[in-house]
Protein backbone atom coordinates (compact mmCIF):
# COMPACT_ATOMS: atom_id res chain seq x y z
CA UNK A 1 0.00 0.00 0.00
CA UNK A 2 2.85 2.32 0.75
CA UNK A 3 4.33 1.77 -2.67
CA UNK A 4 0.93 2.28 -4.26
CA UNK A 5 0.43 5.50 -2.29
CA UNK A 6 3.84 6.74 -3.35
CA UNK A 7 3.02 5.90 -6.96
CA UNK A 8 -0.29 7.76 -6.74
CA UNK A 9 1.30 10.88 -5.29
CA UNK A 10 4.01 10.73 -7.95
CA UNK A 11 1.35 10.52 -10.65
CA UNK A 12 -0.49 13.51 -9.18
CA UNK A 13 2.77 15.45 -8.94
CA UNK A 14 3.72 14.70 -12.54
CA UNK A 15 0.21 15.63 -13.69
CA UNK A 16 0.35 18.93 -11.85
CA UNK A 17 3.73 19.66 -13.38
CA UNK A 18 2.24 18.96 -16.81
CA UNK A 19 -0.64 21.36 -16.17
CA UNK A 20 1.79 23.95 -14.84
CA UNK A 21 3.97 23.46 -17.92
CA UNK A 22 0.98 23.91 -20.24
CA UNK A 23 -0.04 27.06 -18.45
CA UNK A 24 3.48 28.36 -18.74
CA UNK A 25 3.43 27.66 -22.48
CA UNK A 26 0.13 29.47 -22.84
CA UNK A 27 1.49 32.43 -20.90
CA UNK A 28 4.60 32.46 -23.05
CA UNK A 29 2.41 32.25 -26.17
CA UNK A 30 0.41 35.28 -25.01
CA UNK A 31 3.54 37.25 -24.22
CA UNK A 32 5.03 36.32 -27.58
CA UNK A 33 1.86 37.35 -29.40
CA UNK A 34 1.76 40.67 -27.57
CA UNK A 35 5.39 41.28 -28.46
CA UNK A 36 4.73 40.46 -32.10
CA UNK A 37 1.80 42.89 -32.17
CA UNK A 38 3.89 45.64 -30.60
CA UNK A 39 6.51 45.09 -33.29
CA UNK A 40 3.79 45.15 -35.96
CA UNK A 41 2.56 48.52 -34.76
CA UNK A 42 5.97 50.04 -34.01
CA UNK A 43 7.58 52.32 -36.58
CA UNK A 44 11.32 52.20 -35.95
CA UNK A 45 12.27 54.41 -38.89
CA UNK A 46 14.72 57.24 -38.19
CA UNK A 47 13.24 59.29 -41.01
CA UNK A 48 10.33 61.71 -40.80
CA UNK A 49 7.25 59.52 -40.26
CA UNK A 50 4.42 59.82 -42.74
CA UNK A 51 1.86 57.31 -41.48
CA UNK A 52 3.19 54.78 -43.96
CA UNK A 53 2.66 56.96 -47.04
CA UNK A 54 5.43 56.82 -49.60
CA UNK A 55 5.48 58.48 -53.00
CA UNK A 56 7.45 56.34 -55.44
CA UNK A 57 9.05 57.71 -58.63
CA UNK A 58 8.58 55.53 -61.70
CA UNK A 59 10.01 55.78 -65.18
CA UNK A 60 7.93 55.27 -68.32
CA UNK A 61 8.52 55.60 -72.06
CA UNK A 62 6.90 59.03 -71.75
CA UNK A 63 8.90 60.35 -68.82
CA UNK A 64 9.03 60.10 -65.05
CA UNK A 65 5.99 60.19 -62.79
CA UNK A 66 5.07 59.49 -59.17
CA UNK A 67 2.69 56.94 -57.67
CA UNK A 68 1.15 56.86 -54.19
CA UNK A 69 1.53 53.98 -51.71
CA UNK A 70 0.77 53.50 -48.03
CA UNK A 71 2.12 50.67 -45.89
CA UNK A 72 0.14 49.50 -42.85
CA UNK A 73 2.04 47.44 -40.27
CA UNK A 74 5.64 46.39 -39.84
CA UNK A 75 5.79 42.64 -40.30
CA UNK A 76 8.84 42.19 -42.49
CA UNK A 77 7.97 38.55 -43.17
CA UNK A 78 4.52 39.12 -44.68
CA UNK A 79 3.82 42.06 -46.99
CA UNK A 80 0.73 42.13 -49.20
CA UNK A 81 0.65 44.59 -52.11
CA UNK A 82 -2.97 45.39 -52.97
CA UNK A 83 -3.92 45.84 -56.63
CA UNK A 84 -7.47 47.17 -56.73
CA UNK A 85 -10.07 46.98 -59.45
CA UNK A 86 -10.76 49.49 -62.21
CA UNK A 87 -9.08 50.50 -64.40
CA UNK A 88 -9.05 54.01 -62.94
CA UNK A 89 -10.15 53.21 -59.38
CA UNK A 90 -8.22 54.24 -56.28
CA UNK A 91 -7.39 51.97 -53.35
CA UNK A 92 -10.21 53.38 -51.18
CA UNK A 93 -12.75 50.56 -51.47
CA UNK A 94 -10.18 48.08 -50.11
CA UNK A 95 -9.97 49.82 -46.74
CA UNK A 96 -12.17 47.15 -45.14
CA UNK A 97 -8.97 45.08 -45.04
CA UNK A 98 -7.86 47.26 -42.14
CA UNK A 99 -10.45 45.52 -39.97
CA UNK A 100 -8.85 42.09 -40.55
CA UNK A 101 -5.19 42.08 -41.57
CA UNK A 102 -3.74 44.02 -38.59
CA UNK A 103 -5.22 41.63 -36.02
CA UNK A 104 -3.29 38.87 -37.82
CA UNK A 105 -0.14 41.01 -37.95
CA UNK A 106 -0.25 40.98 -41.77
CA UNK A 107 1.43 44.03 -43.27
CA UNK A 108 -0.22 45.37 -46.41
CA UNK A 109 0.31 48.16 -48.89
CA UNK A 110 -2.29 50.36 -50.53
CA UNK A 111 -1.29 51.44 -54.02
CA UNK A 112 -2.83 53.79 -56.57
CA UNK A 113 -1.47 52.90 -60.03
CA UNK A 114 -0.56 55.69 -62.40
CA UNK A 115 -3.68 57.54 -63.50
CA UNK A 116 -5.72 56.78 -60.37
CA UNK A 117 -6.27 58.11 -56.87
CA UNK A 118 -3.45 60.20 -55.44
CA UNK A 119 -0.92 59.19 -58.11
CA UNK A 120 0.05 61.29 -61.11
CA UNK A 121 -2.47 61.33 -63.93
CA UNK A 122 -0.71 61.94 -67.24
CA UNK A 123 -3.02 62.64 -70.15
CA UNK A 124 -1.41 60.12 -72.49
CA UNK A 125 -3.28 57.01 -73.64
CA UNK A 126 -0.09 55.34 -74.84
CA UNK A 127 0.70 54.66 -71.17
CA UNK A 128 -2.43 52.57 -70.66
CA UNK A 129 -1.30 49.08 -71.62
CA UNK A 130 -0.59 45.87 -69.71
CA UNK A 131 3.15 45.75 -70.38
CA UNK A 132 3.65 49.26 -69.02
CA UNK A 133 1.51 48.60 -65.94
CA UNK A 134 3.45 45.38 -65.27
CA UNK A 135 6.72 47.28 -65.38
CA UNK A 136 5.28 49.88 -63.00
CA UNK A 137 4.41 47.20 -60.45
CA UNK A 138 7.94 45.85 -60.68
CA UNK A 139 9.34 49.32 -59.98
CA UNK A 140 7.03 49.68 -56.97
CA UNK A 141 8.08 46.24 -55.69
CA UNK A 142 11.74 47.14 -55.94
CA UNK A 143 11.29 50.49 -54.20
CA UNK A 144 9.43 48.83 -51.30
CA UNK A 145 12.02 46.05 -50.94
CA UNK A 146 9.51 43.28 -51.52
CA UNK A 147 11.00 39.92 -52.42
CA UNK A 148 10.36 36.19 -52.78
CA UNK A 149 10.55 35.77 -49.01
CA UNK A 150 7.79 38.23 -48.08
CA UNK A 151 5.94 39.46 -51.20
CA UNK A 152 2.29 38.41 -51.43
CA UNK A 153 0.56 39.99 -54.45
CA UNK A 154 -3.20 40.53 -54.20
CA UNK A 155 -5.28 41.50 -57.24
CA UNK A 156 -9.04 42.09 -57.30
CA UNK A 157 -10.95 42.40 -60.58
CA UNK A 158 -8.81 44.49 -62.91
CA UNK A 159 -6.07 44.23 -60.30
CA UNK A 160 -6.23 40.46 -60.81
CA UNK A 161 -5.48 40.95 -64.50
CA UNK A 162 -2.41 42.96 -63.56
CA UNK A 163 -1.42 40.38 -60.93
CA UNK A 164 -1.56 37.57 -63.49
CA UNK A 165 0.51 39.57 -65.94
CA UNK A 166 3.06 40.35 -63.25
CA UNK A 167 3.28 36.75 -62.05
CA UNK A 168 3.84 35.46 -65.56
CA UNK A 169 6.80 37.81 -66.00
CA UNK A 170 8.25 38.22 -62.49
CA UNK A 171 7.08 35.34 -60.32
CA UNK A 172 10.64 34.77 -59.14
CA UNK A 173 10.03 37.83 -56.95
CA UNK A 174 6.80 36.46 -55.43
CA UNK A 175 6.08 34.50 -52.28
CA UNK A 176 2.43 33.95 -53.19
CA UNK A 177 -0.39 35.23 -55.39
CA UNK A 178 -4.07 36.00 -54.69
CA UNK A 179 -6.42 36.37 -57.68
CA UNK A 180 -9.73 37.65 -56.39
CA UNK A 181 -12.94 37.74 -58.44
CA UNK A 182 -11.28 37.64 -61.84
CA UNK A 183 -11.37 35.22 -64.76
CA UNK A 184 -8.46 34.53 -67.09
CA UNK A 185 -10.06 35.62 -70.37
CA UNK A 186 -12.09 38.56 -71.67
CA UNK A 187 -14.07 36.14 -73.83
CA UNK A 188 -15.04 34.12 -70.76
CA UNK A 189 -15.96 37.32 -68.95
CA UNK A 190 -18.15 38.64 -71.77
CA UNK A 191 -19.92 35.33 -72.26
CA UNK A 192 -20.84 34.93 -68.60
CA UNK A 193 -21.85 38.57 -68.13
CA UNK A 194 -24.09 38.33 -71.20
CA UNK A 195 -25.67 35.20 -69.75
CA UNK A 196 -26.40 37.04 -66.52
CA UNK A 197 -27.98 40.01 -68.23
CA UNK A 198 -30.20 37.81 -70.40
CA UNK A 199 -31.16 35.18 -67.84
CA UNK A 200 -31.33 36.93 -64.49
CA UNK A 201 -32.68 40.39 -65.15
CA UNK A 202 -36.44 40.90 -65.40
CA UNK A 203 -37.95 40.25 -68.84
CA UNK A 204 -38.61 43.91 -69.51
CA UNK A 205 -34.91 44.73 -69.15
CA UNK A 206 -33.47 41.66 -70.88
CA UNK A 207 -30.52 42.51 -73.07
CA UNK A 208 -30.80 46.25 -72.57
CA UNK A 209 -27.71 46.55 -70.38
CA UNK A 210 -25.64 45.77 -73.46
CA UNK A 211 -27.01 48.92 -75.09
CA UNK A 212 -24.67 50.89 -72.85
CA UNK A 213 -21.98 49.77 -75.28
CA UNK A 214 -23.51 51.84 -78.04
CA UNK A 215 -24.53 54.83 -75.92
CA UNK A 216 -22.19 55.26 -72.97
CA UNK A 217 -23.06 57.85 -70.35
CA UNK A 218 -26.27 58.77 -72.15
CA UNK A 219 -28.08 59.60 -68.92
CA UNK A 220 -31.07 57.44 -69.83
CA UNK A 221 -32.97 56.79 -66.60
CA UNK A 222 -34.08 53.30 -67.73
CA UNK A 223 -30.51 52.31 -68.55
CA UNK A 224 -29.40 53.59 -65.17
CA UNK A 225 -32.13 51.64 -63.40
CA UNK A 226 -31.09 48.46 -65.20
CA UNK A 227 -27.48 49.07 -64.28
CA UNK A 228 -28.39 49.69 -60.64
CA UNK A 229 -30.30 46.42 -60.61
CA UNK A 230 -27.36 44.56 -62.13
CA UNK A 231 -25.02 46.07 -59.54
CA UNK A 232 -27.29 45.10 -56.65
CA UNK A 233 -27.37 41.50 -57.87
CA UNK A 234 -23.81 40.94 -59.02
CA UNK A 235 -21.49 43.71 -57.79
CA UNK A 236 -22.51 44.21 -54.15
CA UNK A 237 -25.58 42.63 -52.60
CA UNK A 238 -25.73 45.00 -49.66
CA UNK A 239 -28.79 47.25 -50.23
CA UNK A 240 -27.66 50.61 -51.71
CA UNK A 241 -29.17 52.58 -48.81
CA UNK A 242 -27.05 50.53 -46.40
CA UNK A 243 -23.72 51.02 -48.14
CA UNK A 244 -21.30 52.88 -45.92
CA UNK A 245 -17.77 54.14 -46.04
CA UNK A 246 -15.18 53.06 -48.59
CA UNK A 247 -17.36 50.57 -50.50
CA UNK A 248 -19.15 53.54 -52.08
CA UNK A 249 -15.93 54.58 -53.81
CA UNK A 250 -16.05 51.42 -55.95
CA UNK A 251 -18.97 52.91 -57.85
CA UNK A 252 -17.11 56.14 -58.55
CA UNK A 253 -14.31 55.53 -61.04
CA UNK A 254 -12.09 58.58 -60.71
CA UNK A 255 -10.51 58.25 -64.14
CA UNK A 256 -13.13 56.83 -66.48
CA UNK A 257 -10.97 57.67 -69.52
CA UNK A 258 -8.60 54.79 -68.68
CA UNK A 259 -11.49 52.43 -68.12
CA UNK A 260 -13.09 53.31 -71.47
CA UNK A 261 -9.78 53.27 -73.37
CA UNK A 262 -8.82 49.80 -72.13
CA UNK A 263 -12.17 48.06 -71.73
CA UNK A 264 -14.60 50.06 -73.84
CA UNK A 265 -17.64 52.15 -72.92
CA UNK A 266 -19.84 49.24 -71.84
CA UNK A 267 -20.57 48.60 -68.19
CA UNK A 268 -20.75 44.79 -68.40
CA UNK A 269 -18.84 43.96 -71.58
CA UNK A 270 -15.13 44.25 -72.34
CA UNK A 271 -14.02 45.56 -75.72
CA UNK A 272 -11.24 47.68 -77.25
CA UNK A 273 -7.70 47.14 -75.91
CA UNK A 274 -8.64 44.22 -73.66
CA UNK A 275 -11.09 42.51 -76.00
CA UNK A 276 -8.69 39.67 -76.86
CA UNK A 277 -6.92 39.36 -73.52
CA UNK A 278 -6.60 35.68 -72.57
CA UNK A 279 -4.18 34.03 -70.15
CA UNK A 280 -6.01 30.73 -69.74
CA UNK A 281 -3.36 28.72 -71.56
CA UNK A 282 -0.59 30.33 -69.49
CA UNK A 283 -1.93 29.54 -66.03
CA UNK A 284 0.13 26.35 -65.82
CA UNK A 285 3.26 28.51 -65.92
CA UNK A 286 2.42 30.01 -62.53
CA UNK A 287 4.27 27.98 -59.90
CA UNK A 288 4.01 30.09 -56.73
CA UNK A 289 1.24 29.25 -54.23
CA UNK A 290 -1.90 30.88 -55.62
CA UNK A 291 -5.38 31.45 -54.22
CA UNK A 292 -8.24 32.13 -56.64
CA UNK A 293 -11.43 33.59 -55.17
CA UNK A 294 -14.88 33.20 -56.72
CA UNK A 295 -18.36 34.09 -55.53
CA UNK A 296 -21.80 32.67 -56.28
CA UNK A 297 -23.39 35.94 -57.41
CA UNK A 298 -20.37 37.57 -59.05
CA UNK A 299 -20.45 38.57 -62.73
CA UNK A 300 -17.13 36.71 -62.93
CA UNK A 301 -17.91 33.01 -63.47
CA UNK A 302 -17.00 31.21 -60.21
CA UNK A 303 -16.73 27.84 -61.97
CA UNK A 304 -14.12 29.25 -64.32
CA UNK A 305 -12.26 30.73 -61.35
CA UNK A 306 -12.33 27.30 -59.71
CA UNK A 307 -10.98 25.82 -62.93
CA UNK A 308 -8.16 28.38 -62.87
CA UNK A 309 -6.99 27.03 -59.50
CA UNK A 310 -6.83 23.53 -61.00
CA UNK A 311 -4.60 24.77 -63.84
CA UNK A 312 -2.13 26.60 -61.64
CA UNK A 313 0.54 24.23 -60.33
CA UNK A 314 0.02 25.15 -56.68
CA UNK A 315 -3.50 26.55 -56.84
CA UNK A 316 -6.25 26.73 -54.20
CA UNK A 317 -9.84 27.88 -54.67
CA UNK A 318 -11.92 29.90 -52.19
CA UNK A 319 -15.68 30.00 -52.79
CA UNK A 320 -17.83 32.73 -51.26
CA UNK A 321 -21.32 31.22 -51.23
CA UNK A 322 -23.05 34.46 -50.27
CA UNK A 323 -20.87 36.91 -52.14
CA UNK A 324 -20.78 38.89 -55.36
CA UNK A 325 -17.95 40.87 -56.96
CA UNK A 326 -17.36 42.75 -53.72
CA UNK A 327 -17.23 39.64 -51.56
CA UNK A 328 -14.96 41.48 -49.16
CA UNK A 329 -18.16 43.29 -48.14
CA UNK A 330 -21.19 41.08 -48.83
CA UNK A 331 -19.57 37.80 -47.72
CA UNK A 332 -16.96 39.38 -45.53
CA UNK A 333 -16.22 36.69 -42.95
CA UNK A 334 -15.79 33.89 -45.50
CA UNK A 335 -13.68 36.12 -47.74
CA UNK A 336 -11.35 37.55 -45.10
CA UNK A 337 -10.96 34.28 -43.20
CA UNK A 338 -10.16 32.41 -46.42
CA UNK A 339 -7.54 34.94 -47.49
CA UNK A 340 -5.80 35.29 -44.13
CA UNK A 341 -5.78 31.50 -43.69
CA UNK A 342 -4.14 31.14 -47.11
CA UNK A 343 -1.49 33.73 -46.29
CA UNK A 344 -0.56 31.94 -43.09
CA UNK A 345 -0.68 28.53 -44.72
CA UNK A 346 2.00 29.71 -47.14
CA UNK A 347 3.96 31.36 -44.35
CA UNK A 348 3.69 28.32 -42.06
CA UNK A 349 5.48 26.04 -44.52
CA UNK A 350 8.76 27.75 -43.72
CA UNK A 351 8.02 29.33 -40.35
CA UNK A 352 5.97 26.71 -38.55
CA UNK A 353 7.76 27.42 -35.28
CA UNK A 354 6.92 31.11 -35.43
CA UNK A 355 3.13 31.10 -35.81
CA UNK A 356 1.57 33.36 -33.25
CA UNK A 357 -2.02 33.81 -34.45
CA distance 242 to 337: 23
pLDDT at 46: 75
| Helix locations, 154-312, DSSP H | 158-170, 186-199, 221-234, 256-263, 302-311
CA distance 117 to 355: 36
pLDDT beyond 80 at 124: yes
Mean pLDDT of 68-73: 97
pLDDT at 213: 41
pLDDT beyond 80 at 272: yes
The predicted-structure confidence for 16-30, as pLDDT tens digits, reads as follows: 444 434 444 434 444
pLDDT at 220: 58
Domain ranges of the chain: 1-42, 53-187+271-354
Average model confidence (pLDDT) across the chain: 83
CA distance 112 to 89: 8
Nearest by Cα to 275 from 197, 210, 189: 189
Q: What is the pTM of this model?
A: 0.84
Quick one: residue 87, left, alpha or beta (phi over 0 = left, psi -120 to 50 = alpha)?
A: beta
pLDDT at 7: 46
Enter the CATH code of domain 53-187+271-354: 3.40.50.1820
CA distance 223 to 209: 7
Mean pLDDT of 320-339: 97
pLDDT at 176: 98
Burial track 240-267 (b if 16+ CB lie within 10 A, e otherwise):
eeeeeebbebbeebbbeebbbbbbbbbb
The predicted-structure confidence for 34-48, as pLDDT tens digits, reads as follows: 566 678 877 777 788
Amino acid sequence: MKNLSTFAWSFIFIGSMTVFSCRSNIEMYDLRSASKMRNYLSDTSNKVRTGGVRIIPISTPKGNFKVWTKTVGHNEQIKVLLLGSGPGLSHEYLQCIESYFPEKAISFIYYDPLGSGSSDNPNDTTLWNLARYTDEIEQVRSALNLNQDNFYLFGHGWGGVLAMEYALKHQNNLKALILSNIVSSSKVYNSYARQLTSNRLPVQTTGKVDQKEAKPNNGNSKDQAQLTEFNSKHVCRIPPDQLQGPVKSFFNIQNDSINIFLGGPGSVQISRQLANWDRSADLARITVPTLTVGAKYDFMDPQHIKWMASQIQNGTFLYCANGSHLSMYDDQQAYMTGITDFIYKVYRKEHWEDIYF
